[in-house]
Amino acid sequence: MSALAQCILALVLAIWGVKLLLPDRNVWGNPQFETLMMQCQIPSTEAIIRLYQGNGGATVAYWYSVTFDHGKFPGEKQIFHAYAYPSIQSIDCHTDGITVFTDEQDFNLTLEQIKNQLIKQPIGFYKGELQQKSIQPLRILTLSSGVLLESISVWILSRSFKQFRASRHPGHPRNSRTS
């Protein structure tokens, strides 16, 4: 394989690895199986609040994710999650924060609370029980795969640079092989 092809392969693997290493939108649930139900904007801000319903198929219950997107990196982040129940009915944005309406109770979250606490540690419920943030096994696998792809891309790049240097200086003693 040519040095250029190796560099392109290394670049593709590096980009894929970085994508796997970047933080996900959700702490709980899988964004790939979520459907946007509604969204609102907190007045006088660029902050968008979104409510998603997740459906993983016949063997799992519905889940709900409320996210906060302030239009800056790292982008949209989960701030509230419920698996099975309480079932989130709707959200409402107001000047100082949001209200999350569930079938059991309403949660009033201030903008300050969202920015300082909830984007780091979302509120999470599992079948009505308050949950603590934990690393999910799938996320560990994803991070490990990202690190592996980055390592492979560095190894491929180092090989391609050696090959490139060898092709530029074919008569150099380091590049000639002796038997």
Q: Which residues neighbour 53 within 8 Å (Cβ) at sequence distance 6 or greater?
A: 34, 35, 37, 62, 63, 64
List the domain boundaries for the chain. 23-135, 138-163
Q: What does pTM read for this prediction?
A: 0.69
pLDDT over 90 percentage in the chain = 44
Helix (H, G, I), strand (E, B) or coil at 90: strand
Model pLDDT for residues 64-107, shown as the tens digit of each residue = 999 999 877 668 999 999 999 899 999 999 999 999 999 989 99
- Is residue 23 scored above 90 in pLDDT? no
Nearest to 85 by CA among 39, 131, 24: 131
- Is residue 178 scored above 70 in pLDDT? no
